[in-house]
């Protein structure tokens, strides 16, 4: 089956209700843009969804959302059908003008789900789809009270990126298609519902909540969360939601949020989404963070107690520009979302905490990149080390690697170094302004950059970076002076110095992370023990350092850490931590057995996104 679809989206996509100040967008480039999304059935050139009015009831007993999606359409002159994406939805009826109409659910595709084709005429303005989600809806995770921090109430959250929105809303689920939305959501009394929209923020008696998202967004940014939640304000336009027992720790950790937003605006222009709030989820949230507009979803594993992991917030905040404002056209262009965001994140961190701090982040990023490229090339996947990906007929999740993030970042950093920061910042500011609320392809980025470069008489081989595998020869790589000192300390330790004599007083968690990652294969059990006694790695409250240490514990068979390892794997659902730990375990036969034993206990706590990866990695068959 050929999943490639071609369609064009002209100015209609940004006839959006964007800010008044957004003139450039509305009157700017009116060339229709040819788009091609291999991960959506939609044919927006025939009928395009421009607004979603969503009514839904959330039932924790049956783990089902019953909903009606009322979709506003913009049709071509000869439109005869509207095509939506769905996955495991049971469609009850489709209504146009008060009457049920014919519809057809297409063949099931493993990744894409099913197309829902609805007969319309060019005059059809609205279509209502009545439906229920499935127990196995991939975006949804229903948590029992015991799986939350407070252990008192059940909890629900969604994760729509990349193509899971279709498992809870019948919609045109392509990043190139933007719509505004409003919603009325009914939940059990006492629980609070939040969405990626203007939020009520306080619990009401009726359990009915109303939402509005005035800026047009792609479907992967649709988000809902329901649970027992409290709110603390952090500034005039920011705050944090979390479970009652977590709220104070969360408010402490994110105290710099308002400063971060200002730093971001100073770099690349105004924040266009009014408010920026955070939601700290229960530990099974499969990602570090998810940039749902107005309401970033975050893992509780960043609550280290010392604000050492807040670069993740800088990252999700940066997506308010790179990703949410200027959006990758499809998942083959994912680096435009993530590479730009890592670059932007580091610039925010540099503003707040200084260059030598952000250079540690840069060094960690490139260190991970080099290791991943090596592994991918060994596994015969060198095509996946190109920035521009080819994910047709594949799960877009395959593109979530350090290539998009860290090679993307490294490219922008290399441009900055050659062009000069001032000029590159001017380009980026213009890029976000000019393309706000629009779609970006890799090719369009190249055109826009080359136009700018031409005016500046600047030469740079973008093609090699984007279309060739690996890191281009001659690329400039970051070196962190602070890490050089860590390497020296580790060397001294390997040469016989006792752990207690190392000069570690001013080390930040990034230095510790670098240290544990650099532990050589030939370190003895006794030396591991000495380090652990001196620096308490096994009981570290910093999830990054702990993960680095647990991986070393497995590869060095440092058994005193195994109890913590099991606990951590059972209580944490963040895929970025789970994959490398399980991955290290399965390198040996005994480790594999241990991995499977733990996995059986832990799996009910994981979101689909994580089990989907881990089932395959561990050869686990769910019945």
Could you say which of Zn ion, ligand BES, none residue 410 binds, taking C-beta under 5 to 8 angstroms by partner kind? none
Q: How far is the CB of 503 from ligand BES (least distance, A)?
A: 29
Could you say which of ligand BES, Zn ion, none residue 290 binds, taking C-beta under 5 to 8 angstroms by partner kind? ligand BES
Choose the binding region for ligand BES from 42-50, 285-293, 509-517, 578-586 (rule: CB under 6 A): 285-293
Binding mask 508-547 for ligand BES (x = CB under 6 A): ----------------------------------------
Binding mask 324-363 for Zn ion (x = CB under 5 A): --------------x--x----------------------
Q: How far is the CB of 589 from ligand BES (least distance, A)?
A: 30
Distance CA 582, CA 376 (A): 18
- What length is written for the chain? 623
Contacts of 199 (CB under 8 A, 6+ apart): 211, 277, 294, 295
Q: Which is nearer to ligand BES, 81 or 351 (CB)?
A: 351
Q: Which is nearer to ligand BES, 326 or 400 (CB)?
A: 400
Q: How far is the CB of 312 from ligand BES (least distance, A)?
A: 4
Q: How far is the CB of 289 from ligand BES (least distance, A)?
A: 5
Q: Which is nearer to ligand BES, 307 or 423 (CB)?
A: 307
8 Å CB contact between 224 and 155: no
The catalytic position among 243, 316, 338, 359 is 316
User: For residue 503, how many other CB atoms are within 10 A of its CB?
Assistant: 10
Distance between the two ends of the chain, CA-based, in angstroms? 28
Strands in 415-551 per DSSP E: 438-440
Among the listed residues 433, 415, 432, the one whose alpha carbon sits nearest the alpha carbon of residue 424: 415
Binding mask 310-349 for ligand BES (x = CB under 6 A): --x--xx--x------------------x-----------
Choose the binding region for ligand BES from 101-109, 309-317, 456-464, 584-592 (rule: CB under 6 A): 309-317
Binding mask 355-394 for ligand BES (x = CB under 6 A): ----------------------------------------
290 near ligand BES, rule: CB under 6 A: yes
Contact set for ligand BES, span 132-191 (CB under 6 A): 161-162
8 Å CB contact between 365 and 277: no
Half-sphere exposure of 589 (CA within 13 A, CB side): 0
Binding mask 62-81 for ligand BES (x = CB under 6 A): --------------------
Contact set for Zn ion, span 141-200 (CB under 5 A): none
User: For residue 221, how many other CB atoms are within 10 A of its CB?
Assistant: 25
Q: Which is nearer to ligand BES, 322 or 605 (CB)?
A: 322
Q: How far is the CB of 575 from ligand BES (least distance, A)?
A: 8
288 near ligand BES, rule: CB under 6 A: yes
Could you say which of ligand BES, Zn ion, none residue 161 binds, taking C-beta under 5 to 8 angstroms by partner kind? ligand BES
Q: How far is the CB of 139 from Zn ion (least distance, A)?
A: 17
Measured in degrees and rounded to the nearest 5, phi and psi for residue 613 equal: -70, -45
Member of 55, 232, 423, 576 binding ligand BES (CB under 6 A): 576
8 Å CB contact between 351 and 263: yes
Among the listed residues 273, 277, 195, the one whose alpha carbon sits nearest the alpha carbon of residue 233: 277
Distance CA 509, CA 308 (A): 6
351 near ligand BES, rule: CB under 6 A: no
Distance CA 447, CA 442 (A): 9
289 near ligand BES, rule: CB under 6 A: yes
Name the strand (E) or helix (H) holding 360. helix 355-378
Q: How far is the CB of 341 from Zn ion (least distance, A)?
A: 5
Q: How far is the CB of 66 from Zn ion (least distance, A)?
A: 32
Q: Which tokens is 107 given?
A: 């063949």
Q: Which is nearer to Zn ion, 338 or 350 (CB)?
A: 338
Q: What sign results for the dihedral spanned by CA atoms 43, 24, 125, 294?
A: positive
Distance CA 411, CA 468 (A): 12
User: 165-176 burial by CB neighbour count: b if 16+ within 10 A, else e?
Assistant: bbbbbbbbbbbb
Q: Which is nearer to ligand BES, 338 or 384 (CB)?
A: 338
Tell me the sheet residues that pair with 412.
none
Contacts of 401 (CB under 8 A, 6+ apart): 372, 376, 384
The catalytic position among 405, 409, 452, 606 is 405
Longest Cα–Cα distance in the chain: 81
Distance CA 265, CA 255 (A): 18
> Active site includes 131?
no
Distance CA 230, CA 249 (A): 12
Contacts of 562 (CB under 8 A, 6+ apart): 553, 594
Among the listed residues 309, 311, 290, 329, the one whose alpha carbon sits nearest the alpha carbon of residue 573: 290
Could you say which of Zn ion, ligand BES, none residue 413 binds, taking C-beta under 5 to 8 angstroms by partner kind? none
8 Å CB contact between 592 and 586: yes
Could you say which of Zn ion, ligand BES, none residue 246 binds, taking C-beta under 5 to 8 angstroms by partner kind? none
Q: Which tokens is 221 given?
A: 């940014």
Number of residues located near ligand BES, criterion CB under 6 A: 15
Contact set for ligand BES, span 389-448 (CB under 6 A): 400, 405
| DSSP state letter for 514 | H
> Active site includes 184?
no
Q: Which is nearer to Zn ion, 148 or 341 (CB)?
A: 341
Q: Which residues here bind Zn ion, judged by CB under 5 A? A: 338, 341
Q: Which residues here bind ligand BES, judged by CB under 6 A? A: 161-162, 287-291, 312, 315-316, 319, 338, 400, 405, 576
Residues belonging to the active site: 316, 405
């Amino acid at each position: 089956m050929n999943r490639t679809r071609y369609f064009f989206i002209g100015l209609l996509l940004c006839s959006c209700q964007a800010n008044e100040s957004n003139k450039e967008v509305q009157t700017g480039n009116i060339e229709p843009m040819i788009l091609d999304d291999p991960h959506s059935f939609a044919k927006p050139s025939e009928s395009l969804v421009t607004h979603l009015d969503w009514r839904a009831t959330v039932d924790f007993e049956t783990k089902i959302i019953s909903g009606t999606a009322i979709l506003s359409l913009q049709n071509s002159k000869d439109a005869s059908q509207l095509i939506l994406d769905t996955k495991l939805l049971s469609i009850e009826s489709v209504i146009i003008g008060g009457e049920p109409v014919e519809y057809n659910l297409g063949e099931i595709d493993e990744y894409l789900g099913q197309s829902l084709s609805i007969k319309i005429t060019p005059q059809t303005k609205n279509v209502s789809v009545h439906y229920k989600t499935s127990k196995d809806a991939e975006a949804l995770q229903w948590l029992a009270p015991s799986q939350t921090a407070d252990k008192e109430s059940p909890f629900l959250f969604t994760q729509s990126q990349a193509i899971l929105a279709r498992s809870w809303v019948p919609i045109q689920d392509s990043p190139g298609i933007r719509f505004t939305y409003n919603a009325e959501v009914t939940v059990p009394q006492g629980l609070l519902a939040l969405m990626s929209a203007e939020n009520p923020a306080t619990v009401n008696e009726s359990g009915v909540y109303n939402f509005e998202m005035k800026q047009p967004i792609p479907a992967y940014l649709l988000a809902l969360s329901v649970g027992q939640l409290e709110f603390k304000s952090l500034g005039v336009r920011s705050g944090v939601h979390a479970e009652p027992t977590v709220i104070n720790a969360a408010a402490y950790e994110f105290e710099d949020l308002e400063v971060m937003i200002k730093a971001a605006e100073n770099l690349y222009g105004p924040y266009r989404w009014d408010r920026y709030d955070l939601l700290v989820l229960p530990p099974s949230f499969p990602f570090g963070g998810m940039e749902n507009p107005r309401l970033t979803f975050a893992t509780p594993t960043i609550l280290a107690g010392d604000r050492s992991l807040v670069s993740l917030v800088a990252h999700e905040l940066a997506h308010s520009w790179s990703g949410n404002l200027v959006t990758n056209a499809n998942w083959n262009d994912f680096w435009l979302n993530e590479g730009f965001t890592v670059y932007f994140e580091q610039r925010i961190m540099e503003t707040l905490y200084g260059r030598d701090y952000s250079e540690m982040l840069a060094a960690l990023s490139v260190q991970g990149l080099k290791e991943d490229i090596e592994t991918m090339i060994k596994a015969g996947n060198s095509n996946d080390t190109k920035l521009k990906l080819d994910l047709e007929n594949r799960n877009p999740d395959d593109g979530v690697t350090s290539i998009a993030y860290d090679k993307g970042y490294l490219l922008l950093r290399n441009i900055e170094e050659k062009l000069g920061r001032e000029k590159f910042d001017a380009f980026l500011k213009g890029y976000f302004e000019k393309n706000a609320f629009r779609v970006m392809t890799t090719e369009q980025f190249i055109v826009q950059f080359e136009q700018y470069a031409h005016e500046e008489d600047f030469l740079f081989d973008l093609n090699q970076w984007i279309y060739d595998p690996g890191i281009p020869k001659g690329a400039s790589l970051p070196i962190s002076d602070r890490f050089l000192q860590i390497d020296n300390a580790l060397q001294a330790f390997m040469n016989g110095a006792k752990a207690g004599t190392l000069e570690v007083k001013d080390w930040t968690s990034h230095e510790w992370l670098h240290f544990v990652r650099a532990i050589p294969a030939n370190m003895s059990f006794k030396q591991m023990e000495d380090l652990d006694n001196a620096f308490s790695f096994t009981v570290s409250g910093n999830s990054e350092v702990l993960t680095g240490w647990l991986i070393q514990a497995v590869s060095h068979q440092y058994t005193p850490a195994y109890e913590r390892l099991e606990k951590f794997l059972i209580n944490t659902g963040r895929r970025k931590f789970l994959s490398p730990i399980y991955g290290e375990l399965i390198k040996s036969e005994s480790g594999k057995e241990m991995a499977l034993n733990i996995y059986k206990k832990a799996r009910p706590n994981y979101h689909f996104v994580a089990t989907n990866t881990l089932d395959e990695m561990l050869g686990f068959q769910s019945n």
